[in-house]
Amino acid sequence: MTQELGTTTTPRAGTVAPARRPDPAGDWWRSAVIYQVYVRSFADGDGDGIGDLRGIRDRLPHLAGLGVDAVWLTPFYASPQADGGYDVSDYRAVDPLFGALDDADDLVREAHRLGLRVIVDIVPNHTSDQHAWFRSALAGGPERAYYHFRPGKGADGELPPNDWESVFGGPAWTRTTHPDGTPGDWYLHLFAPEQPDLDWEHPAVREEFDAVLRFWLDLGVDGFRIDVAHGMVKAAGLPDIGAREQAKMIGAQVLPFFDQDGVHEIHRSWRRLLDGYGGERIGVAEAWAPSPERLALYVRPDELHQAFNFQFLRCPWDPERMREVAEASLAATASVGAPTTWVLSNHDVPRHTTRYGGGQVGLRRARAAALLMLALPGSVYVYQGEELGLPEVLDLPDEVRQDPSFFRAEGQDGFRDGCRVPIPWTREGSSYGFGSGGSWLPQPAEWAELSVEAQTGVAGSTLELYRAALAVRREHPGLGAGTGVTWLDAPEGVLAFARDGFVCTTNTRGTDVELPAPGSPLLSSATPEFSGGTVRLPADSTVWWAI
């Protein structure tokens, strides 16, 4: 077992962490710890095996006691659920699967009562093919201009209009059929065929999303996570790419359907809209850009407040690469006066406990990485279950999988269900406390001992490590918001940096390493050993120090 060090008081389950010290600039989002809830898999309030808004509301005390500042909810809007709710048929309605509009209102009010802010997903790149606009478009209505319809290539239009590929695999185009059964034009969908892309050149599209944002802001939400924030604008003429396996190019190369300069005008208009509301409402970009410099464009002073740092998420357990990514990320965001964000896992990638090697090695590294991430300047995102040390579920039967990529070739790996398995709350029950009616994806039996109940109050558990780390981060003046760190000399394989009155040391080696103790220990992911003025850092561990 690992051990917490120092005199930090750890909040217990069901308690509310102390309020964060006021930021002199009033910008709560510059230092915030934001907890991602995948709505289907957090808590089931009605016993149907699927997570919902009522279940989330009832479990909010866990998040308040954990010490986070805000919760981000994945889509809960009306949807045929072709892609886990990211295919929206009505942006102003709650899908009955997740509750009703009153449940959303109750959740926001309860979160605010507990001192938590609420960020909701908005999906502007595409709608569902069941959205009223698209149904009218297929029938020849004026809404056809709101989407990308094009005639096909070839003698009879039998080939797609260009060579773009869906992120989920296969062509990014599907051909329509006329009422008489003859083939018609093709429509663009960068994701599933059930997710037709909107054409943001049409003013009606922009006006509608302004109205949607105002609807939820008026209900009281504190901001939006913007899905595919890099995708709404396509290069003029929709030019061919001339290469296959385009999904592997995302975030690494310039593509005509992602990260076009035109998206920034949209984000500037949304920033003006957000600034028109009180309470510091924010916009967060899910933006895949080919460089930190391109990503920084999304968080210029007149654009969005934050952008996800996927470069850090994709970084291997390698000290040189981790330092390079941290330095580049901090430099890029500092150049535009924005905070850097740090994230290790989310609902689209394998959990980092597994990515870092799995088993006890992966867990050690995951715990160390969490402390490293929480020590860096800026804002942090925690994915549900990460605070429990949950691994990826790798052995789900094919018949239970629901990731649309799983059923298509040459796109994403198709195994996102493994990080979406409902989280365990108790040691017993049909779904380990997730709900009274089982869970929509099967949970491993060993998760009983990883549950909130099993870890609460257990010294050295991953849950208590996160609680302690967030408490220290909240109170220590050298942690949270900031623009840079001072790197310190350290043995090979060790990352060491200083902030105001604080030092972080991360040993990425698989063996212990000795170095001079830089100060008084505050917290550690594994127990260090002291001898005179030196400290032995355990393999794959992080220690926080007060200096």
**Single pTM value for the model:** 0.92
Domain ranges of the chain: 28-127+202-475, 132-188, 486-546
Q: What is the DSSP string of 155-193?
A: TTS-B-SS--B-TTSSBSEEEEE-TTS-EEEEEE-SS-T
Q: Does domain 28-127+202-475 have CATH number 3.40.50.300?
A: no
**8 Å CB contact between 308 and 373:** no
Helix 101-113 to helix 203-219 angle, to the nearest 10 degrees?
50
Q: What is the dihedral of CA 45, 452, 445, 52, to 10 degrees?
A: 20
Asked if pLDDT for residue 302 goes beyond 80, the answer is yes
Give me the mean pLDDT over the 472-497 stretch. 96
Give me the mean pLDDT over the 326-332 stretch. 94
Q: Which helix H or strand E contains 443, and what residues bound it? A: none
Looking at residue 405, its pLDDT comes to 59
Looking at residue 168, its pLDDT comes to 87
**8 Å CB contact between 4 and 461:** no
Looking at residue 334, its pLDDT comes to 94
Q: 136-150 as b/e, with b when 16 or more CB fall inside 10 Å? A: ebbeeeebbebbbbe
Q: What amino acid occupies position 435?
A: G
pLDDT tens-digit series, residues 173-185: 999 999 899 999 9
How far apart CA 148 and CA 154 sit, in angstroms, is: 19
First-last CA distance in the chain? 27
Q: How many CB atoms lie within 10 A of CB 426?
A: 14
- Please pick, among 95, 227, 303, 392, the residue that the annotation labels catalytic: 227
Q: How many CB atoms lie within 10 A of CB 203?
A: 8
- Please pick, among 103, 286, 303, 386, the residue that the annotation labels catalytic: 286
Q: Of 79-88, 365-374, 403-412, 431-440, which gets the smallest average pLDDT?
A: 403-412
Tokens 């850090």 found at: 312
Looking at residue 408, its pLDDT comes to 57
Give me the mean pLDDT over the 459-479 stretch. 97
Token pair recorded at residue 450: 């990883």
Asked if pLDDT for residue 24 goes beyond 50, the answer is no
Looking at residue 21, its pLDDT comes to 37
* pLDDT band with cut points at 50, 70 and 90 for residue 5: very low
Token pair recorded at residue 6: 């120092």
Asked if pLDDT for residue 329 goes beyond 70, the answer is yes
Query: What's the mean per-residue pLDDT of the chain?
Result: 92
Looking at residue 1, its pLDDT comes to 33
Q: Let me know if 245 is a catalytic residue.
A: no
- Kindly state the percentage of the chain with pLDDT values over 90: 85
Q: CA 358 → CA 289, 339, 354, 447, distances in Å?
A: 29, 31, 4, 14
In terms of CATH architecture, what is 486-546?
Answer: Sandwich (2.60)
Q: Let me know if 453 is a catalytic residue.
A: no
Beta-bridged to residue 513, according to DSSP, are 537
**8 Å CB contact between 172 and 165:** yes
Asked if pLDDT for residue 20 goes beyond 60, the answer is no
Q: What is the DSSP string of 349-404?
A: S--HHHHTTSHHHHHHHHHHHHHHHHHSSSEEEEETTGGGTPPP-----GGG---G
Looking at residue 7, its pLDDT comes to 29
Tokens 């942690």 found at: 479
How far apart CA 135 and CA 122 sit, in angstroms, is: 21
Asked if pLDDT for residue 534 goes beyond 80, the answer is yes
Domain 132-188: assigned CATH number: 3.90.400.10
